[in-house]
Chains A and B, each alone.
Chain A
Amino acid sequence: MNPSRARATPFSARDRRTAYLLAAPAAVLLFGVAVLPILFAAWLSLHRVILVLRERSFVGLANYRFLLHDPRFWSALGNTAYFAVFSVTAEFLLGLAFAHLLVSAAPGQRLLRATILIPWAVPAAVSGKIWAWLFNPEYGLITRALPGSINWLGTPGYAMPAAIVVDVWKTVPFVTLLIFAARLRIPEDLYRAAQLDGASSWRIFRSITLPLLKPTLAVVLVLRTLDAFRVFDAIYVLTAGGPANSTETLAIYTYKTLMDAGDFGHGSTLAIATFLCVLVISLAYLRLLGPEGRG
């Protein structure tokens, strides 16, 4: 949000009417399909709802109090944070590098553009299977190619890094594409001028590319962190949370509580807790990245 910019434009009543007309359909849709179900989940989180027992009783904040002393919740939160930090960092750096390659004069551009979206286009459930096959402890390409024949998916401490690799593979195209599109908007004249001034590539990157990409990078960072914190498909197909729950993230814990156990009260509480974690992180980002970063 940039108030100075908004004020700089002359506005009339007609303008304002148009603004509401344009924003209204999206607002109504968002409210109906997103906000209402969330409120519904928040309401459920104040209840003990166990489908098997056909129970539904109001319990106030009891579910949240339980969460504070639930070791499985804290372990899932830790796993999720670990996953989010490493996967988002890796995706961010690789995305920058890949986007740089896409705008560079590298040979094979056409091939690069065609292949870079592949990982993302593979349905998530299938990409999990592809990698499970590559990580197969007996016949996997990766297991065989690396020394020590590590049982990646079956050893606590190794399974999470393997899941991070899969997620990075799957989502780097998303990050690359966004950065690439933003990078194309930077006028080439700026670069030419800097090159004439004899600036080094690193310096050009630091003082032109990075500042001009900042708004996009902020969006990428926020969107990716939100997704990483809710990671489900990739890990669920790969390990389903094992071994010894060492890859159980908040979303997997939530899923199992809701859809395996049918405990909708506790499950909704977990969803709201995930939501609150993500909210705190986004607020922190917005503050950290400053006003230009916000949008």
Chain B
Amino acid sequence: MPRRRLLAGLAALALEAGGCRRRPVVERRPPGPIRLVFQHQPFLGDPSPLRQLFEDFERDNEGIVVATELLPSAPGAVHQYYLTALEGGSRDFDVFIIDVIWVAEFARAGWIAELSSAFPPAVVRREFLPGAAEAVIVGDATFAVPWYVDVGVFFRRSDSVPQAPRTYSELVALTRDAVAQRPGMRGYVWQALQSEGLVCNVYEAIWGHGGASMLGGRLLLDTAEGRGALDYLRALVACGISPGSVTSMAEEESRRVFQSGDAVFTRNWPYAWAEAESVGSAVRGRVGLSALPTADGSIGRGALGGYQLALNASTPAWKVDAAHRFIAHLTSAEANLAIALAYGRNPPRAAVYRDPRLLAGAPAIAGLLPLVERAEPRPVTPYYPMIDGTLAAEFSAAITGVRSPAEALRRAQAEVDHLMRGDD
């Protein structure tokens, strides 16, 4: 390494340590093509359909080349990576993927660029599913564009339970019947491991009891609906409707139980459907999919998941237009369709669900429209990453019986209120 570079590096470090970060960089565009760096998680399966999307973009946009870098699949690791890189003002990447629960946080921190000029909020609201649009619009400005959506759905063994339960009491009764007929069967398996999956399950139960996530910027936890939800989930485990093992199950653990034919019901993301119907699955052709049950029998709302595309706030101005075009290309209806057909990801654009090519190529995905339409984001607040650890821990304490649901909710509410105290 040349010595001058070392000195320059040390000087830069001293400046950054001194807090002189993010000085505006006036920078002229270097000669040659614009190089956009796109970071994303790998999809399982053949990478060529995705590569095709990049190649199409490069063909239609002469003078722009796309370089891709892969991220780990664990969301925690990705969050850590971006926290470190974006806080450090990294300019090593331009467009990157971002979890629904990070959009408000990254926007508030000033790490991602506002995209309203290229993707006005009104247009996003009109073209994308309501939950997906709500998750990327922060204070009436667009900060990311949905790439694909995920939603919590309810699975049953259609051979032992022909009709899906609509209420919680039906779920309990049907489980008892089915298990009585086939001893050794587990009842309802879901995700009660202290993790983000548990938070999703609890929120779905809160909505299923008629509760809301937030009221005027305050998180609602210590409420009648909240207590109803945790009482119900705790009772599932305590009364044996769910096996005790759910408290160490995340998505994959519960999927394996269901897919091995050992459980009557499960809650998971749609990927579990594709897996259950794959060759070699013990339950292939015997799986029914529906909305989650609720207390009063209305159609349950599943938690919204999935990834969005965002633009690094430190990306130099001369690249921004190319980045906008790239995001538009990857989130177009055609790209939605390609990703759905190749990788089974749900399109965030409502219109795609009526596309005959989707109906013919992936009818199961097209059939999810009523569920993704009702998908609900977890609380959209910049504080979410600060509070979800507390939520997971207190919910876990209630489910494992360490504390009563009421006590756990009181503690969670106090802690969350403290963390979110009026700094906004």
Contact = CB atoms under 8 A, between A and B. Distances in A.
Our verdict on whether A and B bind, yes or no, reads yes
B247 A245 contact: no
Nearest to A242: B194
Contacts of B110: 54
The secondary-structure label for the interface of chain B is helix
B389 A261 contact: yes
Contacts of B247: 151, 154-155, 243
B393 A52 contact: no
Interface string A238-264: 011111111010000000100111110
A198 to B, nearest CB: 55
Interface in B242-271: 243-249, 253, 256-257, 260, 262
Given A151-B245, A243-B194, A53 B397 contact: no
A242 B253 contact: no
Nearest to A244: B397
A262 B388 contact: no
A59 to B, nearest CB: 14
A274 interface: no
Interface in A184-241: 239-241
B400 A244 contact: yes
B232 to A, nearest CB: 18
Given A51-B109, A52-B386, A260-B388, A241 B393 contact: yes
Interface string B91-115: 0000000000000010011100000
B248 to A, nearest CB: 3
A246 B83 CA distance: 27
Contact of A259 (B19, B79, B244, B382): B79
Given A244-B393, A261-B386, A153 B248 contact: yes
B253 A156 contact: no
Contacts of A139: 256, 260
A259 B83 contact: yes
Given A51-B109, A151-B248, A155-B247, A259 B80 contact: yes
Contact of A138 (B245, B385, B399): B245
Nearest to A262: B83
B193 A154 contact: yes
B87 interface: yes
A246 B244 CA distance: 17
A137 B244 contact: yes
A63 interface: no
Interface residues of A, number: 34
A154 B83 contact: no
Given A239-B194, A261-B385, A262-B83, A52 B108 contact: yes
Interface string B175-192: 000000000001000001
Given A154-B400, A243-B194, A244-B194, A51 B253 contact: no
Nearest to B392: A242
Interface string B32-52: 000000000000000000000
Contact of A256 (B87, B262, B389): B389
A52 B76 contact: no
A245 B397 contact: yes
B245 A53 contact: no
How many B residues are at the interface, by size bracket?
35 or more
A260 B76 contact: yes
A287 interface: no
B109 to A, nearest CB: 5
**Most-contacted residue by chain B among A51, A156, A246, A263 (CB, 10 A):** A51
Interface string A6-50: 000000000000000000000000000000000010000000001
A137 B423 CA distance: 43
Contacts of A113: none
A1 B304 CA distance: 61
A85 B247 CA distance: 27
A98 interface: no
Contacts of B90: none
Interface in A139-182: 139, 151-156
Contacts of A137: 243-245, 248-249, 253
A256 B193 CA distance: 17
Contact of A262 (B246, B385, B400): B385
B404 interface: no
**Most-contacted residue by chain B among A53, A151, A154, A241 (CB, 10 A):** A154
A137 B189 CA distance: 12
B56 to A, nearest CB: 36
A151 B194 contact: no
Contacts of B248: 135-137, 151-155, 239, 243
B17 interface: yes
B310 to A, nearest CB: 15
Ranked 5 nearest A-B pairs via Cβ:
A242-B194, A154-B248, A137-B245, A154-B247, A244-B397
Given A154-B247, A242-B392, A243-B402, 4 more contacts: A54-B109, A139-B260, A259-B84, A260-B76
11 contacts: A54-B109, A55-B423, A136-B253, A137-B243, A138-B243, A138-B262, A239-B194, A242-B194, A243-B194, A243-B397, A244-B397
